[in-house]
A = this chain, B = another copy of it.
Amino acid sequence: MMKAGPPTPYLVVDRDVLDRNLERMRSIAARHGVRLRPHMKTTKSVEIALAAHGGQAGSITVSTLREARHFADAGFRDILYAVTTTPAKVTEIAALGAATGAQITILAEDATVAAAVGAEAQSCGLRLPVLIDIDCGYGRSGLHPDDPHLPVLGRLIHDHPGLSLAGVMTHAGQAYDCRDADAVRRVARQEVSATVAAATLLRDIGLPVPTVSIGSTPTALLADDLSGITEIRPGNYQFLDLTQAAISVCGPGDIALRVVTEVLSHHPGGHALVDAGALALSKDTGADGHYGIVARIGDTPAPPGLFIAKVAQEQGYLRGPHGLDLTWLLPVGTRVEVLPNHACMTAAAHDFYHIRSDSHAPDIWRRVNGWH
């Protein structure tokens, strides 16, 4: 009735799949001749950041200053904080750099704000490297490459004694609205051309633009041509998930992350209740409204058609094809593994990864969550 293992719910990472995903992206970066600066916002793990660089504390991207601190404490020295920095954050960034020796590169998209950030940096005795955020059509943040503010901002950053111009960057979040690989490739071309156009414009007015950085897992995996790009910042590629599978950038067998959960009961309504709910799985839904697909029952692959239909805070409603009696397939106490819709959100409520591998010893790796 039961299977040994840690108390449920917990995350398991298939290290062999993870290693394959990491190696695939390293090859892509090498083939295009670009630097790989993985975004650690998905996995938030020092062990995975090291593995992403073949064991080195290489260049990384982070989404919070707590991540920056966590990785800096672990020896990472070149960290991009990929959320626009305001003056209020500069003291924390300065303290972080002073305590760890890490170089933190920041983003800017407005000249007035950048001037205030530069003044703060200067008063902390810093000269902060800055990437200008370019909007390549996603519409979240940044300047369009033809925005007349772009050269003004570039010049200000270059000339400010508290800042240095490191280059330009973009994020093609619209890749997640694609339905197939061809659409992703079109977004990748948009991403490259907008970023290269911005770099060219700045170079044309005599500014140095050493870094031309793009980043999203779908475009990094599928782009044909990265001419003019110097750096890629994919993050989700480390785990992948059902959202990536839905837009054809991977198959379900490439997903390294699973939620392990136990069957708690069977309800006359036809569902099995499991102990992974909205927190352990996240509220991100798949195309047909499910909260995850069952990939394994115990140690064996699950038959198709088992999914989490609904979630409460700590409980999931596991359903199968209409008419299937789950009480025989999934007795109470059975452990099942659920593939996540969105690995970034699913992993967020968990503190640890249980590492499984055919070629390495089992292990437990820590995640860093929160902000401060």
Contacts and interface: CB of A to CB of B under 8 A. Distances in A.
Interface of A: 1-2, 6-10, 41, 63-65, 83-84, 86-89, 92, 109-110, 112-113, 116, 135, 139-141, 144, 147, 173, 262-269, 273, 275, 278-280, 282-284, 312-315, 317, 332-333, 344-345, 348-352, 369-372
Nearest to A84: B264
A7 B370 contact: no
A248 B110 CA distance: 43
A326 to B, nearest CB: 13
Given A88-B333, A345-B278, A349-B370, A314 B41 contact: yes
A314 B63 contact: yes
Given A88-B7, A372-B10, A317 B2 contact: no
B280 A371 contact: yes
Given A284-B283, A345-B278, A348-B279, A372 B7 contact: yes
B371 A10 contact: yes
Given A266-B110, A283-B345, A88 B372 contact: no
A20 B92 CA distance: 36
A120 B283 CA distance: 34
A140 B314 contact: no
Contacts of A313: 41, 63, 344-345
A10 B65 CA distance: 13
The 8 A-B pairs of least Cβ separation, nearest first, read: A84-B264, A283-B283, A63-B314, A113-B332, A139-B269, A351-B370, A84-B265, A2-B88
A333 B140 contact: no
A12 B235 CA distance: 31
Given A140-B273, A279-B345, A283-B283, 10 more contacts: A1-B116, A2-B88, A7-B371, A7-B372, A83-B264, A83-B314, A86-B264, A88-B262, A140-B312, A140-B315
A7, A116, A348, most chain B CB atoms within 10 A: A7
Contacts of A273: 84, 140-141
B284 A87 contact: no
A350 B370 contact: yes
Contacts of A264: 83-84, 86, 141
| Total identical chains | 2
Contacts of A112: 332
Nearest to A109: B265
Contacts of A65: 7
Contacts of A312: 140, 173
Nearest to A335: B88
Contact of A267 (B63, B89, B139): B139
Contacts of A9: 371
Contacts of A87: 1-2, 333
Contacts of A63: 313-314
B332 A110 contact: yes
A351 B282 CA distance: 18
A273 to B, nearest CB: 5
A364 to B, nearest CB: 11
A60 B114 CA distance: 50
Contacts of A135: 267
Contacts of A140: 267, 273, 312, 315, 317
Nearest to A110: B265
Contact of A315 (B2, B141, B279, B280): B141
Given A2-B87, A7-B88, A282-B283, A314 B110 contact: no
Contact of A7 (B92, B144, B147, B282): B92
